[in-house]
Amino acid sequence: MAVLLPFFLSAQNYVQQIEQYRQEQLLHLNQKSKGPVAEQNLVYIQHFVPQEVFRAEANVEYLYNEPTFRMPTLDGTSKTFKRFALLHFSLQGKSLTLTAYQSVGILSTQVSPYLFLPFLDLTTGETTYESGRYLDVKISDIQADKLILDFNKAYNPYCAYSSGYRCPQPPLENFLDVAIEAGEKKYTGPKHQREQDNSMAKNFNDGEKELILSGGENDKMYVLQTTVEKDSIILRTLSDDIKFDDPLLPVLASRMLATVQNPEQAGVGIAAPQVGVNKNAIWVQRFDKEGSPFEFYINPKIVWRSKLLRKGAEGCLSIPDRREDVIRNYSIKLQYTSKEGKTVDELIEGFTAVIFQHEVDHLYAILYPDRLEEQQSKDIVPLAEKIEFSIEKGTILP
């Protein structure tokens, strides 16, 4: 049911509160505050007029013993959540339910005090952002199994304004069969391309330094295995950007190369987490270049993925005795930091693009079996009879 405001909170005061909330949001969105929108483009951020009918009281049905799952993000990766509660409420005479999610870290104790409510509704793709909108509430806002949902505070994910962000896609269970003409409207301004922010990059921690220096520059490193519990924790931990001028980075790069080229377990790519270092660095064999050289990449990000997909067999140095067909984007746009600290963009396609996707996934604690689970729920349209691909005779296939 819709919630009537207390008598001391007039409709005028409520509108003022919402407008003040929106002004605070604009400050965070401004690029001057490290947000995704240039100051001159803030005028393109528009909202519906605040209406109290879109403020509802929900009955909270707690969910227990829910497993964690990976919610796909708009950049092609995913984030880990668990279903926390079902929120039952009414809007426009309809009984509706939203699932509230809780962000979860690799350890069960790493849970957020906030609840995340991504949703789609009948305005999605029309007057509001085509990939849905978000609401955030605190768990402490729940009182006597009741929670106020104010859709006048619904906002767009950063991906509506700029590339380079990891915005979760609302699950289908959070589609609301009503038109929620409240909160933020579709952004109509120019979309920004986010560049690397090296200010958040870190040096190696003491444990990583010890590991890197545990052998000579040309000595291979132990490759972590998913079958070993302590290894799996590291493989399932998000990695941080590394400072491009860290003095130990060349040593790590040399040892990683020796590892991936080790004849006993040779691969076509390797990521730093696979050798126990949760920093964003990878080696990739460039089959798209003459001589198929291995190249080292610092803080790689995939900022664009093609709609065209390809299926191919993949294995992983960290997953023993498995090799399966995985669906990947045919081409990508990669952004990374050069050895001189400059941001570099590059378009890559084919099998080499697959290697990049596989290795960058490691940096986000994603393993290729996670991709297998994702593709089971996706409808793929084969193009074999619609588009004919070919190569010149004599071309070397990777």
Distance CA 109, CA 316 (A): 29
Active-site pick, 359, 374, 385, 388: 359
17 burial level (CB within 10 Å; 0-12, 13-18, 19+): middle
**Rounded distance between C-alpha atoms, residue 343 and residue 337, angstroms:** 5
Between 350-363 and 368-376, two packed helices, what is the crossing angle to 10 degrees?
110
Alpha carbons 202 and 244: distance in angstroms, whole number: 9
CA distance 38 to 35: 8
| Of residues 383, 396, 382, the one with CA closest to residue 350 | 396
- Is residue 275 within 8 A of residue 260, CB to CB? The reply is no
- DSSP labels, 232-254: HHHHTS--B-B-TT-TTHHHHHH
Residue whose tokens read 């089959």: 287
Q: Please tell me whether residue 111 adopts helix, strand or coil conformation.
A: strand
Helix (H, G, I), strand (E, B) or coil at 152: helix
- Nearest-angstrom CA–CA distance, 78 and 71: 5
d(CA 261, CA 268): 8
- Residue closest to 159 by CA, chosen among 131, 182, 180, 136: 131
DSSP letter at 95 equals E
Q: Which two tokens stand for residue 39?
A: 């100051």
CA distance 193 to 163: 5
Task: Give the three-class secondary structure for 59.
Answer: strand
- Among residues 384, 331, 336, 383, the alpha carbon closest in space to that of 355 is found at 331
Distance between CA atoms of residues 176 and 172, nearest Å? 9
Instruction: Please confirm, yes or no, whether 359 is among the known catalytic residues.
Output: yes
Show which residues are catalytic. Answer: 359
